Structure 1
Amino acid sequence: MKRRSVVLTATAGTAAGVLGLTVLALPAGAGAAPELPPVAAEQLVESVMRADPPALTGTVSVDNALGLPALPGGEASQLLADGTNRFQVWADGQGRHRVSVPSHGGELTMVDDGTTAWKWDSGEQTATRTQHPERAGHGAPADPAAAARGIIGELRKTSEVSVDGTASVAGRDAYELVLTPKPTERTLLRQVRVAVDAEKRVPLELSVLTNGSADPALKIGFTSLDMTAPDPGLFRFEPPAGAKVEDGSRHAPEPGDHAVPEHQVVGEGWDSTLVTKVPESPELRQVAERTGKPVSGPWGNGWILGTAAGNALLTSDGRVAVGAVPEQVLVAALGEVR
C-alpha cells in the first residue's frame, strides 16, 4: 500500500468521510481467549509484514460511532454513517477480489480480475470499468487484512508495540497486537489494536481508540471467515443486458486542462496529515457550512469538521487537510503545502 493510502486509512476521522474513503478500525471480537504460544511484539509484526495474502470468503462489519454528519457520496460515505453496516468480500490470494455492499438503491458490487476492475450499481444499472494500473481511487472498500497491514507498517516506526493477550475472531485464534503512539506524537488517538490470525498471520480485525473513551470510535473486521479458495467465477464480470457501461480510467490531462495536484503528506506516523484537493461538490460545501467551524488564515477561509478520532479542514477553494490530529496541526500542514 502506498504511503498516502496508509494515511487515509489511519486517520479514521471526519476527513476520511469528507474524501469519500473507506476507513478501517475495529476491536477484537467476542469469544473465549485461546491459549497460544507466547510471541514477541516485533516478531509478530515481522510475521504480519511477510505473510502472503490468503484466499478467503468473509463478512465484514463496520461499526461507526464517530458521530459524523450526513456526507454526500457513494458506498464509502454509507459505510461511514453512524451505526453498523456489513459487506461481503472474496479474494483468491492472487490479486483478484470481489466486494458486495448493500446500498439504498440495491447493491454495489466491485469485481477485480487482476486486469480490469468493475463497479456495478444495481440501483442505477450502471457498470464502471477501470483498467489497471489506473484504477487507484476506484472506490471499492479496502480488504481489511491488507489495510490493517498497511497501518501496522506505517505506524510501527512511531509507536510502542506490544502483545496484549489473545482473542477469538470469526472463529479463528488470534494475537492482540497493540500500537501506542510515542509521547512525541501529536494525535487524537490513544492506540490501535489489531487481532492477528495465529496461523496465517494476517489481520482479522483492527480497532482505533481515542483519548478519553474506552470504546472504539470506529470499527471494522470479519464476523465470519472461510479461508478456502472461492469459486473463480466470482472474479469475472459481464455487464447485464441493458446496463449502461462507463469508462472509469484516468487519462492524462490534455493541454489546457486543469490538472488536479497530487496528494501531499506532511509529517509521518500518527501525526501525518494528508493535503489534497477534492472534486467540486455543492453538497459537500453545504455540509461543511452547516456543521463545520469557520476558520481562516494566510491560506484562505474554510471549515473544520471534527470528531474524537480526527479532523478535516475544508477550504473554500476545494482543498482539504486530513488527519487524526488536533486542529492546529492541520492548519500548519495546509500552510506548508503550496
Structure 2
Amino acid sequence: MDPKKKAITAAVVGTALGVGGLVFAAMPASAGDAPVLPPVSADDLVQSVVNAKHGAFDGTLKVTNNLGLPAAGNALPGMGALNADSAHVFTDGNGKSKVSVTRGTTQETFVRDGTTLWDYSSKNNSVTKTTIPAEALDKAKAHQDAQVTDPSTAASQLLAKVRESSNIAVNGTATVANRSAYELVLTPKPTERTLLREIRVAVDSQTRMPLRLSVLSNGTTTPALEVAFDDIKFADQPADLFTFTPPPGAKVTEKQPKIDDKTRAEAEKFADSTKVLGDGWDTVITGKLPADALNFKAPQGQGQGQGHEGRNADPKALLERFAKKVNGPWGSGYLITTKVGTGVLTDDGRFAAGAVPEQVLYEALGTK
C-alpha cells in the first residue's frame, strides 16, 4: 500500500474508532446457562488477563457492526474488516497465523509464516506476497508488546490501557463458545470524557483469554460493535496451515518493502509528530500527515474505489463525500463521526482521533 494512503487511513479511519485495538477486540456471546465458577475479584481477573500468555488455538468468530460508519463500502483500506460476516483464526502462538475473513460470497485469507505475509482474495483470485524486511522483524521481536496477532491480544492490551481510569466489576458468568467465562464490566470514571458507556469482556475461566467483548456507547442499549468466538479449540496447529500455496490461475504480485533513507526519514518524522494525549478512555492521538498525503490520485484507468479491495481510492474525494466540513480556532478540516469515536483531519494535514466527543479533539488540536 502506498505509505501516504496508509498514513491517511490510520489517521482517518483506524484511530477514529478509539483506543488501540478496539476494532479487533469487540465480540457476541454464544447462548448458554451461566456456569458456576469460583469467586474472583475484578482486579485479580484483569491482572490475570494482562499476564496471560496465549498459546496455539483455532477459533471462529462473528462480527456485528453497528458503528454508524459512512457507507463507503471497502473504499478505504481496513473498512472491509468492519463489514466482515465471520472469520476463522489460527495461530501457533509463536508469530505464525492464518486468518480467513468471509464477506458475503467472497473470502480474503491472510497467512503470516514469520517472514512472509500472504494476502489472497477470492473475489478476483489475486494474491499479494509481501516479504517482511529483516530490520522490521528485528524491531518487532524487540517490541513484542506491539504485536497484535489475534483479537484476544488486542482485548488484553485494551484492558491494560483503561484499567486505571475505569470502575471495574465482575458481573456474573457466561458460556461463550461452549466454554465457561467470567463477565468483566468496565465503565469510565466520571472524569473521563468519552463516547463510550461501558466495555464488557467475557474471560475464559481457565486460559484467561478474552472470548467476547461488547462495546456500548452513550445513549444506546445495543452494542455498537460486537465480535465473538462461537467456537474455539486450544491445541497445537499443523505446521502446513501456515504454508500458503497460491490457487491455480491466481495472479500473484510480489512485494519486498525497502527501508531506504528517505522512507526511514519520513517514518521518523511522522512518528515524532504523533502524540498521545491522556491515558484512559479520553485518550486522543494527534499528529501530522505528509504534506501531500491528501493529493493522492488513483492510477490512470482506475477510479475511486477500484483496484484490490478499493485501495486505489482518492482519500480527499472520500473525505469530501463522507466527512463533515468543520472549522474553529484550530483551523478547518474534516470530521468523521462513529458511535464509538471521532476523528478530525485538518486541511494542513494535522489529525486528532479518539473515543471522545469532537470538542475534545478540537482542544487537542490546539495543544502544542
Q: TM-score, normalised on structure 1?
A: 0.84
* Aligned position for 2:159: 152
State the AA in 1 paired with 2:326: V
- 2 CA distance for matches of 1:60 and 1:50? 23
Deviation at 1:323, TM superposition (A): 0.7
**1:207-246 matched pairs, under 5 angstroms:** 207-238=214-245, 243-246=252-255
Which structure dedicates a bigger proportion of its chain to helix?
2
Deviation at 1:299, TM superposition (A): 3.7
Deviation at 1:98, TM superposition (A): 1.2
Describe the superposition over 1:200-242 as per-residue Cα deviations: whole angstroms up to 9, x where unpaired.
0111111111111111001112121111122111122355675
Describe the superposition over 1:176-215 as per-residue Cα deviations: whole angstroms up to 9, x where unpaired.
1111111100101011111000010111111111111111
* Aligned position for 2:6: none
SS of the equivalent of 1:233 reads helix
> Quick one: which of 326, 338, 356 aligns to 1:295?
326
State the AA in 1 paired with 2:226: K
Say whether residues 1:73 and 2:82 are aligned partners.
Answer: no
Describe the superposition over 1:138-175 as per-residue Cα deviations: whole angstroms up to 9, x where unpaired.
xx985111000000000001111110000111111100
Deviation at 1:296, TM superposition (A): 1.6
Deviation at 1:255, TM superposition (A): 9.4
Where does structure 2 lack aligned partners over 5 or more consecutive residues? 1-8, 141-146, 297-312
* Aligned position for 1:100: 100
Which structure dedicates a bigger proportion of its chain to strand?
1
* Aligned position for 1:4: none
SS of the equivalent of 2:343 reads strand
| 2:119–2:127 Cα contact (<8 Å) kept | no
* Aligned position for 2:308: none
* Aligned position for 2:46: 45
* Aligned position for 1:332: 363
* Aligned position for 2:110: 110
SS of the equivalent of 1:270 reads coil
Describe the superposition over 1:267-292 as per-residue Cα deviations: whole angstroms up to 9, x where unpaired.
11100011245554563323332333
Q: 1:254 to 1:173 in 2, by over 3 A?
A: closer
Q: RMSD of the alignment, in Å?
A: 3.2
| 2:97–2:112 Cα contact (<8 Å) kept | yes
SS of the equivalent of 1:269 reads coil
- 2 CA distance for matches of 1:254 and 1:48? 37
- More deviation in 206-215 or 278-287? 278-287
State the AA in 2 paired with 1:247: Q
SS of the equivalent of 1:179 reads strand
- 2 CA distance for matches of 1:289 and 1:80? 21
State the AA in 1 paired with 2:239: P
Q: 1:250 to 1:297 in 2, by over 3 A?
A: farther
> Quick one: which of 264, 284, 290 aligns to 1:273?
284
* Aligned position for 2:5: none
* Aligned position for 1:5: none
Q: 1:142 to 1:104 in 2, by over 3 A?
A: farther
- 2 CA distance for matches of 1:92 and 1:257? 34
- More deviation in 314-323 or 170-179? 314-323
Describe the superposition over 1:122-141 as per-residue Cα deviations: whole angstroms up to 9, x where unpaired.
533332332356378xxx98
State the AA in 1 paired with 2:127: Q
Q: 1:172 to 1:251 in 2, by over 3 A?
A: farther
Q: 1:328 to 1:23 in 2, by over 3 A?
A: farther
| 2:29–2:229 Cα contact (<8 Å) kept | no
- 1 CA distance for matches of 2:203 and 2:63? 18
| 1:27–1:216 Cα contact (<8 Å) kept | no
> Quick one: which of 206, 210, 222 aligns to 1:203?
210
Q: 1:247 to 1:275 in 2, by over 3 A?
A: same
SS of the equivalent of 1:184 reads coil
- More deviation in 296-305 or 127-136? 127-136
Where does structure 1 lack aligned partners over 5 or more consecutive residues? 1-7
Q: 1:141 to 1:106 in 2, by over 3 A?
A: farther
Deviation at 1:12, TM superposition (A): 10
Q: 1:243 to 1:293 in 2, by over 3 A?
A: closer
> Quick one: which of 253, 258, 261 aligns to 2:262?
253
- More deviation in 125-134 or 178-187? 125-134
Q: 1:257 to 1:170 in 2, by over 3 A?
A: closer
- 2 CA distance for matches of 1:62 and 1:318? 32
State the AA in 1 paired with 2:48: S
* Aligned position for 1:130: 132
Deviation at 1:260, TM superposition (A): 5.2
Deviation at 1:70, TM superposition (A): 2.7
